[in-house]
Structure 1
Amino acid sequence: HIFSFAGKSMAFEGELSCIVSDPQKHGDKIGSFVTYAVNVTSTLPAYDGEEGSVRRRYSDFEWLRRGLQENYPFVIIPPLPEKESLNVKGRFKDAFMERRRRALEVFLNRVCSHADLRESEILKSFLTARTWDLESQKGSKISRKFDYMVRDVMKDADSLFLKMKKNSNDKDAAKFEQLRQYVKNVEANLSQTEDLAKGIAKKKRALAAEYDQLGPVMNLIAQAEDQIAQPMEAVANMFRNVGAVLEKAASNDELCFVEPLREYVLLTKAVKSVLVNRDVAWQGYNIAVKDLSQARKDLEKATELLHAPEKRSKVSSFFGKLKDSNPAEKKKKLEEKVEELEGTVEKEKIMCSNGTSKVLDEIRRFHEHKRVDFKAIMSEFVKAQIDYHAAVEQSWTDCLPSIDQISLDPKTPLRVVAEEKK
């Protein structure tokens, strides 16, 4: 895919792409919100080769991502921009809406570039449904069986892994524990890099403000010192130019370095979620295997008691725990339970096997995209630094001729020296 964070649209060569644009505020009070135009271009048969546009708000994007998580538990679902703790006025500032617009566009195009996700019905509804139709779909109940299982079983990723390690049929558990540690380290390193990059941008912006303050001071000196008036005016302009360059550099750092770093921090969290989903699936399989083993033992015991006359006295005590007093009927129910659990175990085993393969494919895809993305990120960042330093150097260089006009002879007026040089 073609990828750029430098203020350009992120586009993918392929069958489906989106451009998010034109943020608009609706309402003036507490219930106010922002919608974005989502412009779709597609050659997929499901979209009839259409180009269209819909308006969506942030909560619609959240609905889309939740639906994708539910339907594709072993796929790395790209992250949405985080909700920020801003007051109402802050949420409607142009800078915030533009930053969110860029992040939403990155999210959508990551989804549209995925072979499975771009075929999903929920994505098609998001990209094509009219507003009232989408609201109707959002109001309908979505099965969240797997999501609930994750929340109920998965209290802590590390404790779950230790529990599975003691009693698990997962032959790849050690491999996935290494992956878990790798992702954990990547997240920590990226978070630290993001914090440092934020600090650099903040310092550049603070330095820009100080240079802006130097400009007026130099103008005051120029007004008070006729001998060096023209050079000081040139220096004042130079300080203003350098301040503007620094401000632009800070904005570029945030745009082409801080923002993509933040997106990758969130993306590593999405990777961790997929690893957790796989662990939960294997935990479900282990539980099913344990239940089947117990049911088979109960059936074996029931069969033994029913066909052993010398153990008739034990039959009543064994079956007495069951509501049905008919031992033969109870044996039949146990047989049905074993058959049902065998089906459950097979189903869980297939899901675990497919889930493992899918997660490994997703991790490979994550690495491939990370290489492409980081090449673009670092290239844009380095080029921005080169441009920044070149612009600062040029500002200083342009100022030197004016400074050279200052005469060291106190009897010679500066303006005369300037005329002689001409």
Structure 2
Amino acid sequence: MDPPPYESVLQDHGTNNFFAPATVSKEFEIEVTDPVKQGDGVAAYVSYKVRTKTTHPSYAAPFNEVIRRFRDFAWLHDKLVEKNKGLIVPPLPEKSAVQKYQMSTDFIDQRRRALQVFVNRVASHPVLKDSRELNTFLQANEEAWMLEIAKWQAETSAQHRPVNAAAQWLKSLQHSAQSLVSGRAEEIQEDPEYIKIRDYVNSLEAHLNEAHRQAGRLLRKEADLGSALSEFATAAEALGKQDEVGPMRSAFGCLFIRAGEVATLSKARSEALVNEFAAPLKEAARTIKSVQAAMGDRAAALTAYSQAKSDLDSKKVRLAKLRGTPGLKEDKIAETERDVNEADQRLRNAKLGYETIRDTMREELNRFQKERASEMSALLRDFALAQAAYTAAQAKAWGELLADLQNVPQQAAAAEAS
């Protein structure tokens, strides 16, 4: 079955969606709606209603409604990333301190749409849709939810992050130094086919970002064109009013009407481009970051596997030396043997961890590539259809202006005859 296209997961009632909401998920229909600004200044935030209809057997009721804010969506995202190594967790919209402070209507609506896309992506994922985290996010009452958030904030306190990151960095540095001293390079290599996909994904990110940037230019130019046409129509009307009667007044009046129609079309097209073209491209670029995060999990698992193998090898070498040393106490050898056994178990665990992520990513990358191909094809198809319809409407308005102008002399003659 084809993956859900971007517009289908929006499910905005009363808007021109290109795909039926039923294609999103057989088990979930989720709306993020009714944004309400809470507070003022830097402490301000927006709350949303998250409405869920579901047939999933783990949910207590077929319909549920909760109040959530951006921080809560971040909880869902971070928890899923933490507990699903190797899975491509759908991305959140970026944070923007400047836009958050301004809290414009456009910013709030675009974020609402992006959050709706995010949570529907999660609900459509073959693994994440069954997660306890999604279940909690969609139906936990206020008291239970606040306990979850408090626990999460305590776990991710800023004072612990640098320590953990520094410890991991020092461990990697120590392993690299040991490899250099021993003259051994990494003995565990990645699959060449996977490396090709990894390089492709990294290259794809730059191209998607550039496509999004150019889409932004396109919609800005369309908005500028609409403004220019509107101003031109006003100027034409003012020019026509210089003649109290006569064909010039009528001709410029027709130009004012038709140019105004085209200006309205241009403004509407510019607004549509934001949601129907630029936003999906931006989400696709964010998704690449999620793919890279999963690839980072795989790289970390491979490093751990390699470190565990190097550690076991060094302990085996040490044990062999001890066994070859005359007069050495048996308890020293026994202690080193225990170290070797523990290192061997760590290697087995590290190997299992790496292979689990590797196998998980094989399925995930296949799914990602199919989704990307399907969604990009649908996006370009609908962009072409919308552009064709827009151009046809423009041509019709200018064609009607030609007909209007051709009728002006006849109308003037009839007026003079009467």
Distance 1:25 1:292, change over 3 A: same
- Letter aligned with residue 404 of structure 1: Q
Distance 1:268 1:154, change over 3 A: farther
CA distance in 2, matches of 1:88, 1:348: 42
The answer to whether residue 115 in structure 2 is matched with residue 104 in structure 1 is yes
CA distance in 1, matches of 2:83, 2:53: 24
Distance 1:4 1:167, change over 3 A: closer
Instruction: After TM superposition, give the deviation of residue 4 of structure 1 in Å.
Output: 4.7
Map of 1:276 onto structure 2: 296
- Letter aligned with residue 117 of structure 1: L
The answer to whether residue 253 in structure 2 is matched with residue 233 in structure 1 is yes
Match of 1:272, SS state, is helix
Map of 1:168 onto structure 2: 187
Instruction: After TM superposition, give the deviation of residue 261 of structure 1 in Å.
Output: 0.3
- Letter aligned with residue 176 of structure 1: Y
Question: If the length of structure 2 is used for normalisation, what is the TM-score?
Answer: 0.86
Instruction: After TM superposition, give the deviation of residue 15 of structure 1 in Å.
Output: 2.0
CA distance in 1, matches of 2:411, 2:189: 86
Map of 2:359 onto structure 1: 357
- Letter aligned with residue 129 of structure 1: A
The answer to whether residue 310 in structure 2 is matched with residue 290 in structure 1 is yes
CA distance in 2, matches of 1:148, 1:67: 17
Map of 2:348 onto structure 1: 346
Match of 1:392, SS state, is helix
Counterpart contact for 1:405–1:418, Cα < 8 Å? no
Instruction: After TM superposition, give the deviation of residue 416 of structure 1 in Å.
Output: 3.9
CA distance in 2, matches of 1:16, 1:383: 29
Distance 1:132 1:151, change over 3 A: farther
CA distance in 2, matches of 1:154, 1:8: 48
Q: Which runs of 4+ in 1 moved over 3 A?
A: 6-11, 141-145, 147-156, 163-166, 418-422
Match of 2:42, SS state, is coil
Map of 1:79 onto structure 2: 91
Distance 1:365 1:35, change over 3 A: same
Distance 1:294 1:78, change over 3 A: same
Question: If the length of structure 1 is used for normalisation, what is the TM-score?
Answer: 0.85
Percent identity of the aligned residues? 24
Map of 1:195 onto structure 2: 213
CA distance in 2, matches of 1:376, 1:14: 20
Distance 1:87 1:368, change over 3 A: closer
Distance 1:171 1:186, change over 3 A: closer
**Residue of structure 2 aligned with 1:401, choices 387, 399, 403:** 403
Map of 1:67 onto structure 2: 79
Q: Which runs of 5+ in 2 are unaligned?
A: 13-20
Match of 2:324, SS state, is helix
Match of 2:34, SS state, is strand
Distance 1:150 1:12, change over 3 A: farther
Deviations 1:112-136 (A, max 9, x none): 1112211211221111112332221
Q: Which runs of 5+ in 1 are unaligned?
A: 316-326, 408-413
Instruction: After TM superposition, give the deviation of residue 183 of structure 1 in Å.
Output: 0.5
Instruction: After TM superposition, give the deviation of residue 85 of structure 1 in Å.
Output: 4.1
Map of 2:18 onto structure 1: none
Map of 2:224 onto structure 1: 206
Map of 2:17 onto structure 1: none
Deviations 1:275-308 (A, max 9, x none): 1211110110110111111111222222232xx3
CA distance in 2, matches of 1:399, 1:89: 45
CA distance in 2, matches of 1:349, 1:239: 68
CA distance in 1, matches of 2:171, 2:387: 44
Counterpart contact for 1:154–1:280, Cα < 8 Å? no
Number of aligned pairs? 390
Map of 2:139 onto structure 1: 128
- Letter aligned with residue 168 of structure 1: E
Map of 2:335 onto structure 1: 333
Map of 1:320 onto structure 2: none
Match of 2:7, SS state, is coil
Structure with the greater alpha carbon radius of gyration? 1
Distance 1:12 1:258, change over 3 A: same
CA distance in 2, matches of 1:418, 1:342: 102
